[in-house]
Amino acid sequence: MSRSPSSPAPSGADSVTRIAEGYAFDGPALDLGALLWGDGTGLACRPDVPVRVPLAVLNRHGLVAGATGTGKTKTLQLLAEQLSDQGVPVFLADIKGDVSGISAPGAANDKVRQRAAEVGQDWSPAGFPAEFYALGGIGTGVPLRATVTDFGPVLLAKVLGLNPTQEQSLGLIFHYADGKGLELFDLKDLRAVVAFLTSDEGRPELKGIGGLSSQTAGVILRALTAFEQQGAGPFFGEPAFDTAELLRTGPDGRGIVSVLELPAVQDKPQLFSTFLMWLLADLFHDLPEVGDLDRPKLVFFFDEAHLLFKGASKAFLESITQTVRLIRSKGVGIFFVTQSPRDVPADVLGQLGSRVQHALRAFTPDDAKALKATVSTFPVSPYDLEEVLTGLGTGEAVVTVLSEKGAPTPVAAVRLRAPRSLMGPVDAAALEGAVRASGLYGRYAQAVDRESAYEKLTAAAAAAPAGAPPEEPAKRPEAERPEPSLVEQVVGSGVFKSLARSVGTQLGREITRSLFGTSRGRRR
């Protein structure tokens, strides 16, 4: 039965002992902070009872939640620092622009010293190796781009706001472009293929596999135009980013913290949230199965996670759920960061083994309902969680994680440690200098526009005699085209595609596109 920590049960000492034993791990672990427990006058900090999370279970995913201003960003920073120290690369999405300070030593002040003393932390300032990225080079960072083919039809449909029927038509367009050698590098390539397939010359091309209605094509073209007018064009093109860059460690063995700077694109939330999902899908496609490791290969922090799920189609949500479930075996851990656990679908929430729940507010009936729903997701504990969650201060949270044996640890209210790096952004000049000094800057800074679908279709139309249909671009003469091999016939069959979608076999994972229709075949 739950009890208020301000009025501990007679078995309070036993509860503290049980919590202490629950967080006493043998292997490497990250230190979250010190236990908060009731002493008759409220919650008191117990530096003798540290609360930790085993490094080996961080590929089991997690959730950091709480109201605005409760300290979620500092929790990310604290976790990222310790992961880096343990040799684990980290990816952070910096929505507000205040995580760049992780690359610089923090500043000692009275608040930091007080927090360190309260939780028993031996605090010293430290900066951590970091790379800074910006979507399409908009903002300060190494430009991070993907080709339209990389992104794939499922994720692109999500960004464009297409309904399921329009999404299927977009998939048909990608299928046609793939088969005809029409490379989709940027948005003008995709627009050119859509326009061709609805022209008198191109309309017959898709008749045998369902066709493309003028109405649906018009919706897709209008969505693409609006998307470009919002400034999304630079995100798509070459050189395409190789997500293997996120798995690097520094010369000293510490994990590189990859920070995606997003303040310049805060007005395009659906784009950056979907782009983050592409990064995960691309990693899933490339990484081998490794099972459970003693430490993850990468931990990925997905900030503003509610944007990913808002308005998502059923197919998209199913793909997210499957990616989250399966990428664990690739050694990648994901932390979703959002205001309320209700922002995350139940099927995804059920896979998040580590929970760091900051304070929640209960100012309205909806808030009260959300609070009760959050409490119901925690294991039974001696705390009155409704009271605790509404009374936590900044930098405090209710925690439960998975033990080294995979069982949930006891619920613990925690005062979190102070990050060792700078708790705020670095100077703009220092950030710019760090970006230009990066070894990746020369590789990705300059955009490249190779010949692709737009140029090929334009050239074919210009070369065609007046009134005659243009030559089919990149189509080999019938005599030169070999009969499809058995493998090609099998891969093209509906049965195989169905199996691949369910990721039922290793063959399906390796030959076909990943769960989101992303592709890596174009990289040279």
CATH number at residue 264: 3.40.50.300
pLDDT value for 30: 97
173 falls within a domain:
no
pLDDT value for 217: 92
13 falls within a domain:
no
8 Å CB contact between 64 and 70: no
Q: What is the pTM assigned to this prediction?
A: 0.85
154 falls within a domain:
no
pLDDT value for 490: 36
8 Å CB contact between 315 and 154: yes
12 falls within a domain:
no
Neighbours of 480 (CB within 10 A): 6
Handedness of CA 461, 466, 469, 470 (dihedral sign): negative
pLDDT value for 1: 38
307 falls within a domain:
yes
191 falls within a domain:
no
pLDDT value for 269: 78
pLDDT value for 400: 97
What are the residues whose beta carbons fall under 8 Å from the beta carbon of 359, sequence distance 6 or more?
66, 67, 70, 389, 390, 391, 392, 393, 394, 396, 397
513 falls within a domain:
no
What are the residues whose beta carbons fall under 8 Å from the beta carbon of 498, sequence distance 6 or more?
none
Q: Strand pairing partners for 62?
A: 335, 354
pLDDT value for 383: 94
4 falls within a domain:
no
What are the residues whose beta carbons fall under 8 Å from the beta carbon of 237, sequence distance 6 or more?
136, 145, 147, 185, 186, 447, 448, 449
Rg value, the chain, Cα: 26
Q: Which two tokens stand for residue 166?
A: 């329009």
Q: 47 — phi, psi (to 5°)?
A: -65, -15
**To which residue do tokens 């009025």 refer?**
7
- Taking each helix axis as running N to C, give the angle between helix 148-160 and helix 164-179, from 0 to 180 degrees, rounded to the nearest 10: 160
pLDDT value for 488: 44
Neighbours of 428 (CB within 10 A): 11
pLDDT in tens, the chain (524 residues): 344 444 334 357 899 999 999 999 999 999 999 999 986 567 999 999 999 999 999 999 999 999 999 999 999 999 999 999 999 999 998 888 889 999 999 999 999 999 999 999 999 999 999 999 999 888 899 999 999 999 999 889 988 989 989 999 999 999 999 999 999 999 999 999 999 998 888 888 887 767 788 899 999 999 999 888 888 889 999 999 999 999 999 999 999 999 999 888 877 877 888 888 889 889 988 899 998 889 999 999 988 888 888 877 777 888 888 889 999 999 999 999 999 898 899 999 999 999 999 999 888 888 898 899 999 989 999 999 999 999 999 999 999 999 999 999 999 999 999 999 999 999 999 999 999 999 999 999 999 999 999 999 999 888 876 555 555 555 544 444 455 543 344 334 333 333 333 333 333 333 334 567 676 654 44
Cα distances (Å, whole numbers) of residue 18 to 13, 380, 411 = 9, 13, 10
pLDDT value for 229: 85
Cα distances (Å, whole numbers) of residue 422 to 98, 107, 108, 112 = 9, 6, 10, 11
Domain that holds residue 112: 28-133+247-438
Q: How many domains does the chain have?
A: 1
Report the distance separating Cα 136 and Cα 455, nearest Å: 22
